Chains A and B, each alone.
Chain A
Amino acid sequence: MLKSFFKQKENHSDILIEEIYSLTPKEKESMIDGLLDLVALLKSSNEKNAKGDSVFIERITEVKNTVEEGRTSLITSSDNIQRILDEAQNIHSITASVEAQGEQNIRLVNEGNENMNKLDSQMDYVKDVFTNFEKSITEVQRETNDIIAITNIIAGIADQTNLLALNASIEAARAGEHGKGFAVVAAEVRKLAEQSKDALVNVNKKVNEIVDQVSVLSANIVEKSKEFDHTQEMTRLTSEFFGKIATSEKELFTNMSGIKHATDQTMAEISTFRQELEAIVQLSEQSTKSIDELYIFSQDKFFISTDMTSYISQVKYLVEALKNDQL
């Protein structure tokens, strides 16, 4: 039965209808039973297919959720890395600033040290001046003592002159009228001798004052010289401190350069890592797009299942109608 229909390369409904009409009742019954079986099988297959679609969607949803979770984590990580990069950039700026400041400090410390050295040299020079001055003072003291000795000699001469003048006056008195003129001269000499002595006393007094003042000055200079030595010692110590500060600053500068270099390297590595993460995020976005396509595909399949259910239902009604010989 239906041989000529199935032998046709193309479907011709008129041949099919003719074949169906020529079927014996038994053949018709067999055909209807076969069709009903096929409808049941189609229905069962369609249900299995729909179940498969449901499982497919369930799995896609699981995969999508996993991808989404992963993507969210990646984005969070990427954001965190960006924050680390920002912080590293901040550290980089701070270290660069500190490094520049360190460089400036080293320069200032060196300048300070140079100034200290100049000050030390200047103090050496001033100290020489002080030493020479002290020597001059000592010389002045010595010269002043000589003056005092000379004035003492002159004072002795004045005393002797006074004594001689006194003797002359006595001799003049003895000489009477004749000695009167000489007495006047002797008195004048005596007067001059006393005036000389008075002048010498004044000179002596002034010289002593000078000696005292020079002694005070000398003592002051000695004292100041000692203070000067102390100051100079302090200057040398300060200079040494400047040296230590310069060494420390250089060390700090080197360390800062090290930190800056390490930060740069870290930043470069983190940036690379972030780029890699971004690439993974993009890949996961691509996966999400693929999953979305799968969803569209599964949605289409869902509609096909709906259509299939409708078609099978209609075929079932038609076969039943054929069986009952009425629509």
Chain B
Amino acid sequence: MALGLEAQLGDSVFTTRLDEAINWGRQYSLWPMVFGTACCAIEFMSTAASQHDISRYGAEVVRFSPRQADLILVCGTISYKQAPILKRIYEQMPEPKWVISMGACASSGGMYENYCTVQGIDTIIPVDVYISGCPPRPEAVLDALMKIQEQIKGETLLKDRHKDFRGILD
């Protein structure tokens, strides 16, 4: 039973918390920026193509400009040469923004434990969801997307995210 103001409004007006309304919008209209560097980007292509169809989750508006995106998918190995670029791209994205680290390389360096490969992008930018696999299947990418959506549901506008993050390039 509705209480207070809602009881007065009856069935004509639907009220909710601002957080919930905005989070609902954010969840189902994520615009991904695909930072594709290697093999994982090919599997992202599969995720976007007809069979797996990422648009079922409202995330098909792939933007290659970080300024128009709120979800960055790091698909592939990040080398030390690439790292400052990744950081710059991440910083160019407006808040709020989420990060998916796709595949073994992005998450931990993967099979490349050597002089040129960053051992996990979480040493450079904050990561929200990691996907395992080399490369992960498209289903795993969709699963990560749903996890991000789930996470967004519980967030609030009043709190800034990741302001205290410091990586190796900071």
Do these two chains really belong together in a complex? no
Residues of B within 8 A of A (CB): none
